[in-house]
């Protein structure tokens, strides 16, 4: 029996504000390598993001929102399943070892990879299907490029996009090592184009998302929009470059391809929110905007660290959520919430019943978002390349890298500049014990990643 039972059609008795029972639509907008400060509403002076800023004023700004890994594949696996990557064997997901780069498997799925998200895992798309929702995904997948791992095998009825990052192609700076094939663009499971123009990826993904909304306006739907940018190589459409040139006089905006790419992502959010409003369904649609990890080229200020690091800047990401029927407008939420919480939250809101015995790490966010409750997490764990490096408990964070211990009080020192471990030995011991317990649990309960023998890169079939 595959993943989900068929008896999952309960309605909520009432929304959090007492509205008549009505299941909300759900939209996730997930960008790639966008830093904590790469939004105006998160303090970014180098970008101009008016639509996301308005979304924050109409919803909630989540200032302690974490992804489960500081890199693409494990982060996205956690979003889809509600689980720490270590639990589902996606913390070091690639089966390809690149000589001279790493002695162990590469940390993200590559082209022609034999490993990917196990089709037996329950995804948020399958939760949505079980509750009668239409499901669509448009953009970057990065959870395996073999047919067995594609979105269409993981609960998405519609898919248009690229199977991994758009730099995984012959023009990669380290192509002599990787020997990447041309980048494929898929419609469903069919390659329809090779080497799509990166300048138009954001625009094409947005167009498909808007079309999906219009076609399913009279049905419940779950829409996952996974942009390829601002991951390098940076790009933006000629149309948006011209438009952005007209706003760079704004003191918050600067010239350059990076802020232009961010501006186009903001434009995309505006198109999606506009489509929801035009169809009369924006009041009861939950829209979450966030990023898969910290920045490679952008800003994580005032946080330390960037993509690939277990410092705050690697895993604490900008996040804004809007749902007029369920989340107070203008809310500022500084409690620890995570991308893993999306699946159980959506399951609760949609009336879906999760399978008995399924262990996930995410928690329902709604008591925190709607009622001001505390974080649903006692601890949050930080890991990179399959190695556990840190844990957060309340405002305390312990980070252990190469045997060196550092304790930070994030409420007083969000930039992680002052190691206070010597002053709080009891907290250090408590957090080290929590880390040992986490490692023990993950080792005992790990569920295997998907595996395919003799994988081949995707290409257009003649």
Check residue 90 and give its pLDDT. Answer: 97
Task: Give domain status of residue 433, yes or no.
Answer: no
Q: How far apart are CA 243 and CA 271, in angstroms?
A: 15
Task: Give domain status of residue 388, yes or no.
Answer: no
Check residue 252 and give its pLDDT. Answer: 67
SS3 61: strand
Check residue 15 and give its pLDDT. Answer: 37
SS3 128: helix
Check residue 134 and give its pLDDT. Answer: 98
Domain count of the fold of the chain: 1
Strand-pair partners of 116: 450
Check residue 349 and give its pLDDT. Answer: 98
Task: Give domain status of residue 6, yes or no.
Answer: no
Residues of the chain predicted below pLDDT 50: 1-20, 462
The label of the residue with tokens 């940076």 reads: 234
Check residue 248 and give its pLDDT. Answer: 85
Task: Give domain status of residue 99, yes or no.
Answer: yes
Task: Give domain status of residue 10, yes or no.
Answer: no
CATH number for the domain including 139? 3.40.720.10
Q: How far is CA 144 from the centre of its chain?
A: 16
Check residue 102 and give its pLDDT. Answer: 74
b/e code 204-230 from CB counts within 10 Å (16+ = b): bbbebbbebbeebeeebbbbbbbbbbb
Q: What is the pTM of this model?
A: 0.94
Q: Which residues are catalytic?
A: 72, 142
Which domain covers residue 176, as residue numbers? 25-378
Task: Give domain status of residue 125, yes or no.
Answer: yes
- Crossing angle for the helix pair 238-245 and 257-278, nearest 10 degrees? 100
Task: Give domain status of residue 447, yes or no.
Answer: no
pLDDT tens track for 346-402: 999 999 999 999 999 999 999 999 999 999 999 999 999 999 999 999 999 999 999
SS3 25: strand
Check residue 3 and give its pLDDT. Answer: 45
CB distance 193 to 111 below 8 Å: no
For residue 393, what is the enclosing H or E element? strand 387-393
Task: Give domain status of residue 457, yes or no.
Answer: no
CB distance 70 to 314 below 8 Å: yes
For residue 139, what is the enclosing H or E element? strand 134-140
């Amino acid at each position: 029996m595959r993943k989900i039972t068929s008896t999952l059609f309960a309605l909520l008795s009432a929304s959090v504000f007492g509205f008549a029972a009505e299941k909300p639509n759900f939209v996730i907008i997930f960008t790639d390598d966008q830093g904590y400060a790469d939004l105006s509403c998160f303090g970014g002076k180098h970008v101009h993001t008016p639509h996301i800023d308005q979304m924050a004023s109409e919803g909630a700004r989540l200032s302690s929102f974490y992804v489960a890994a500081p890199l693409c594949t494990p982060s996205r696996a956690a979003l889809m399943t509600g689980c720490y990557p270590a639990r589902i064997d996606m913390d070091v997901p690639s089966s390809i070892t690149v000589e001279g780069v790493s002695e162990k498997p590469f940390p993200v799925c590559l082209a022609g990879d034999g490993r990917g998200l196990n089709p037996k895992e329950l995804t948020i798309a399958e939760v949505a299907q079980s509750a009668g929702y239409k499901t669509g995904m448009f953009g970057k997948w990065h959870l395996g490029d073999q047919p067995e791992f594609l979105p269409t095998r993981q609960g998405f009825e519609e898919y248009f996009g690229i199977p991994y990052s758009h730099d995984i192609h012959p023009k990669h700076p380290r192509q002599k090592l990787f020997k990447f094939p041309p980048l494929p663009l898929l419609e469903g499971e069919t390659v329809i184009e090779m080497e799509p123009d990166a300048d138009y990826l954001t625009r094409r993904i947005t167009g498909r998302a808007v079309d999906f909304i219009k076609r399913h306006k009279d049905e419940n739907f779950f829409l996952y929009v996974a942009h390829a940018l601002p991951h390098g190589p940076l790009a933006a459409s000629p149309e948006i470059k011209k438009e952005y040139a007209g706003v760079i006089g704004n003191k918050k905006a600067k010239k350059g391809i990076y802020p232009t790419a961010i501006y186009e992502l903001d434009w995309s959010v505006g198109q999606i929110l506009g489509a929801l409003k035009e169809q009369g369904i924006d009041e009861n649609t939950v829209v979450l905007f966030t990023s898969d990890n910290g920045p490679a080229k952008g800003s994580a200020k005032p946080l330390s660290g960037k993509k690939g690091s277990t410092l705050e800047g690697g895993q604490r990401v900008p996040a804004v959520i809007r749902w007029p029927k369920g989340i107070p407008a203008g809310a500022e939420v500084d409690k620890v919430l995570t991308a893993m919480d999306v699946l159980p939250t959506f399951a609760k809101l949609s009336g879906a019943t999760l399978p008995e015995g399924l262990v996930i790490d995410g928690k329902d966010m709604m008591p925190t978002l709607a009622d001001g409750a505390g974080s649903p997490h006692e601890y949050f764990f930080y890991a990179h390349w399959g190695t556990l490096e840190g844990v957060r408990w309340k405002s305390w964070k312990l980070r252990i890298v190469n045997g060196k211990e550092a304790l930070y009080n994030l409420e007083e020192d969000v930039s992680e500049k002052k190691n206070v471990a010597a002053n709080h030995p009891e907290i250090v011991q408590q957090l080290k014990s929590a880390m040992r317990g986490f490692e023990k649990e993950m080792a005992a309960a790990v569920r295997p990643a998907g595996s395919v023998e003799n994988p081949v890169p995707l290409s257009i079939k003649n």
